[in-house]
């Protein structure tokens, strides 16, 4: 036991994320039902519910439900808000929160727009104590700097951290101490195990496996026969709290910033508007000690069409001025060509800048070298 490598993994999941972003933007809607809608545009109400705040959930609204159905449920709630999904805004909130989490440990993996893992410690049994402190700090900082509620789970691997998160939402903080995995998992219905969907659960039930505990002590050959040589053993391991998958320390692939113009634009007359966006992006680069080699622009028209252009440069850059210079070039040429008969005439309502293709800036090296010279 002693030479087994111990780890503690922290999982963070932001509560009712898209809907909470809207509450942060307009706190007056906090106590009202808030439903985030993906309007498909065919008829006024066609489309699906992306997510909803807990006020709306308590009344029965769910992700994936038709918008028309959610409206029916909330018919007697005049104060209910049905808001269009604003992904760029949620993305910018997510990026800032991911930076908070990333800064608290060495191994960080973003799993989705509102979910991340952080691995703590390596050698001794006290990693859980440290993970608890760090988990609390993360939760507090997300609340103080972004006014956002989150759920934190801690376990000895990614699976157990995720199970801890799912066991208590929203605003949860759950630790599954190393060694008590089985105790925690055994009584849960099999369908609560991460990765077990309704189809698998039904199949398990049909052979008398109802709880995760049943699955953990099930005959392994029977599981392999029923679910195959890959999923069978995997289910058995998971039910025993075993998960060897690593927290992958992947850097972000791109950063973007987007704003709505004061009035719709038919030409490039918003040079100054770009400045704060580029400054924000530049400071992210410098914080992460990286530079970018690709700069892109985003233009969203008054008909909500998204158009993009990008340029790759041979020498990586970090400064706000240089990003702004290239973004301006791209916008000038974009508007220069906008009367192209293929694209027709349009007005631009929102604009953005996106950077990607990152390389390490090598700043720290330069500093040490300077110290020696």
Of the candidate spans 6-14, 51-59, 95-103, 152-160, the one that interacts with Ca ion by CB under 5 A turns out to be 6-14
Shortest CA distance to 298 belongs to which of 281, 285, 284, 313? 281
Footprint of ligand DGT on this chain (CB under 6 A)?
A: 13-18, 38, 50-51, 63-64, 114, 169-170
DSSP element (H, E) containing 88: helix 87-102
The listed partner (ligand DGT, Ca ion, none) that binds 154, CB under 5 to 8 Å by sort, is none
Residue 316: Cβ within 10 Å count: 18
Residue 88 interaction partner, one of ligand DGT, Ca ion, none, beta carbon < 5-8 Å per kind: none
Q: How far is the CB of 266 from Ca ion (least distance, A)?
A: 40
Q: Is residue 115 a contact residue for Ca ion (CB under 5 A)?
A: yes
Q: Which residue is nearest to Ca ion (CB)?
A: 115
Smallest distance from the beta carbon of 183 to ligand DGT, in angstroms? 25
Helix H or strand E encompassing 274: helix 271-287
- Give me the helices (H) in 171-261, please: 181-185, 198-206, 212-216, 220-239
Q: Which does 80 bind (CB under 5 to 8 A by kind): ligand DGT, Ca ion, none?
A: none
279 part of the active site: no
Which of 7, 8, 12, 13 binds Ca ion (CB under 5 A)? It is 13
Which ranges of 103-194 would DSSP assign to H, the alpha helix?
Answer: 127-146, 158-167, 181-185
Q: What is the DSSP string of 1-46?
A: -TTSPP-EEEEEEETTHHHHHHHHH-GGGTTS-EEEEEE-SSSTT-
Q: Candidates 40-48, 87-95, 107-115, 212-220 — which segment interacts with Ca ion by CB under 5 A? A: 107-115
Q: Does 114 participate in binding Ca ion (rule CB under 5 A)?
A: yes
| Catalytic residue from among 23, 109, 115, 181 | 115
Active site amino acids: 115
């Amino acid at each position: 036991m002693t030479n087994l490598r111990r780890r503690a993994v922290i999982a963070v999941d932001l509560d009712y994320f898209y809907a909470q972003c809207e509450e942060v933007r307009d706190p007056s809607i906090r106590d009202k039902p808030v439903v985030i809608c993906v309007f498909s545009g065919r008829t006024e109400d066609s489309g699906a519910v992306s997510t909803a705040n807990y006020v709306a959930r308590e009344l029965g609204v769910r992700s994936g439900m038709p918008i028309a159905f959610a409206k029916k449920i909330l018919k007697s709630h005049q104060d209910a808000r049905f808001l269009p999904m604003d992904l760029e805004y949620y993305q910018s909130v997510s990026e800032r929160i991911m930076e908070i989490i990333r800064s608290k440990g060495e191994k960080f993996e973003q799993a989705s727009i509102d979910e991340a893992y952080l691995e703590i410690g390596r050698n001794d049994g006290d990693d859980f104590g440290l993970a608890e402190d760090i988990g609390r700090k993360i939760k507090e900082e997300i609340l103080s700097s972004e006014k956002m509620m989150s759920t934190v789970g801690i376990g000895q691997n990614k699976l157990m951290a995720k199970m801890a998160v799912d066991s208590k939402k929203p605003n949860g903080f759950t630790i599954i101490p190393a060694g008590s995995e089985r105790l925690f998992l055994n009584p849960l219905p099999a369908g609560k195990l991460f990765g077990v969907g309704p189809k698998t659960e039904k199949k398990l039930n049909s052979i008398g496996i109802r709880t995760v505990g049943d699955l953990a002590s099930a005959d392994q050959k029977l599981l392999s026969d029923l679910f195959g040589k890959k999923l069978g053993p995997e289910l058995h391991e998971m039910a025993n709290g075993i998960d060897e998958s690593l927290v992958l320390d992947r850097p972000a692939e791109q950063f973007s910033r987007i704003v709505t113009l004061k009035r719709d634009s038919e030409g490039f007359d918003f040079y100054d508007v770009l400045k704060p966006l580029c400054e924000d992006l530049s400071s992210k680069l410098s914080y992460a000690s990286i530079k970018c080699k690709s700069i892109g622009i985003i233009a969203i028209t008054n008909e909500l069409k998204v158009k993009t252009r990008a340029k790759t440069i041979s020498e990586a850059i970090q400064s706000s001025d240089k990003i702004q210079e290239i973004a301006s070039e791209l916008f000038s040429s974009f508007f220069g060509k906008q009367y192209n008969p293929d694209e027709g005439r349009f007005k631009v309502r929102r604009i953005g800048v996106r950077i990607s293709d990152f390389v390490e800036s090598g700043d720290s090296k330069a500093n040490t070298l300077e110290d020696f010279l």
